[in-house]
């Protein structure tokens, strides 16, 4: 069974090795897949975006272990989410919000059964001591409700949604920046008028392209990206460098008259 890892552990330390070691100690046949360990430290929303953007590509019954956990050791709970096709193990801090927004039916269980923890439990590394062992036991056939009781009051944050601010204007937001410096917005196909311009940091962009190589070098353009969102990009350069922008930046989409 596939166990897919998405964390902010980084790849230079023992953290990833320890988590994988624990999984294999419990289920030596687990097929461990790294999604990424380079979520920026403590950026829960980046983790949520990244997980949402790829989890449906995995085979059914994949167990996702998603750990960005600034509250580790505090009273924040550890949870297991069961959806129609997948399992997710994560701290109860909203990390799974974007997954919940995609799923109609899901059940959340709190991880409380100490039988499935690794001892001694550290106060700072539940990735190794609680989340990884839970994933391994799940892949061995332990049922979700054996880990703890179902809960309904889990943490869930809303995704920022584009917002009409006038008849022809929509306020939207940059929600993610990828490795290439492409700026992912919260606009999807259904939010886009037939013809439009965006204004961001004093620059107007109205060229909508089908693919990268259509553009001139250093030209800013828009493109419907592979995660389903409108992106601001630049061919052979990085849009984030050209625009000097951060995640969370708001901007205006104007329908052309």
Nearest to 90 by CA among 140, 141, 39: 39
Q: How far is the CB of 133 from a second copy (least distance, A)?
A: 10
Q: How far is the CB of 136 from a second copy (least distance, A)?
A: 11
Q: How many CB atoms lie within 10 A of CB 89?
A: 26
Q: How far is the CB of 110 from a second copy (least distance, A)?
A: 18
Judged by the rule CB under 8 A, the positions of this chain that interact with a second copy are: 2, 4, 6, 9-22, 24-25, 28, 31-39, 41-42, 50-51, 53-59, 62, 70-74, 76, 122-125, 128-129, 178-180, 210-214, 223-227, 235-236
Q: How far is the CB of 130 from a second copy (least distance, A)?
A: 12
Give the residue with the Cβ less far from a second copy, 152 or 226.
Answer: 226
* Cα separation, 128 vs 20, whole angstroms: 8
Give the residue with the Cβ less far from a second copy, 115 or 179.
Answer: 179
Give the residue with the Cβ less far from a second copy, 25 or 195.
Answer: 25
Give the residue with the Cβ less far from a second copy, 213 or 257.
Answer: 213
Q: How many CB atoms lie within 10 A of CB 190?
A: 6
Q: How far is the CB of 4 from a second copy (least distance, A)?
A: 7
- Classify each residue of 136-158 as buried b or exposed e, where b means 16 or more C-beta atoms within 10 Å of its C-beta: bbbbeebebeebbeeeeebbeee
Residue that the structure tokens 């190589």 belong to: 213
Q: Are 231 and 179 in contact (CB under 8 A)?
A: no
């Amino acid at each position: 069974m596939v166990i897919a890892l998405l964390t902010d552990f980084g790849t230079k330390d023992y953290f990833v090795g320890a988590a994988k070691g624990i999984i294999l100690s419990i289920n030596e046949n687990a097929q461990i897949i790294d999604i990424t360990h380079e979520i920026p430290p403590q950026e829960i929303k980046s983790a949520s975006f990244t997980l949402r953007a790829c989890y449906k590509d995995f085979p059914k019954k994949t167990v996702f272990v998603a750990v960005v956990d600034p509250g580790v050791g505090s009273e924040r709970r550890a949870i297991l989410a069961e959806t129609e096709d997948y399992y997710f193990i994560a701290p109860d801090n909203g990390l799974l919000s974007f997954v919940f927004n995609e799923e109609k039916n899901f059940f959340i269980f709190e991880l409380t059964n100490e039988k499935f923890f690794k001892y001694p439990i550290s106060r700072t590394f539940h990735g190794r001591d609680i989340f990884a062992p839970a994933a391994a036991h799940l892949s061995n056939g332990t049922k979700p409700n054996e880990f703890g009781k179902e809960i309904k009051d889990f943490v869930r944050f809303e995704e920022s949604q584009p917002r009409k601010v006038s008849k022809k204007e929509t306020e939207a937001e940059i929600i993610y920046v990828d490795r290439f410096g492409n700026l992912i917005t919260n606009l999807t196909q259904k939010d886009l008028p037939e013809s439009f311009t965006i204004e961001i940091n004093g620059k107007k962009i109205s060229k909508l392209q089908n693919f990268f190589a259509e553009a001139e070098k250093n030209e800013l353009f828009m493109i419907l990206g592979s995660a389903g969102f409108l992106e601001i990009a630049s061919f052979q350069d990085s849009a984030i460098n050209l625009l000097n922008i951060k995640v969370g930046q708001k901007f205006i989409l104007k329908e052309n008259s």
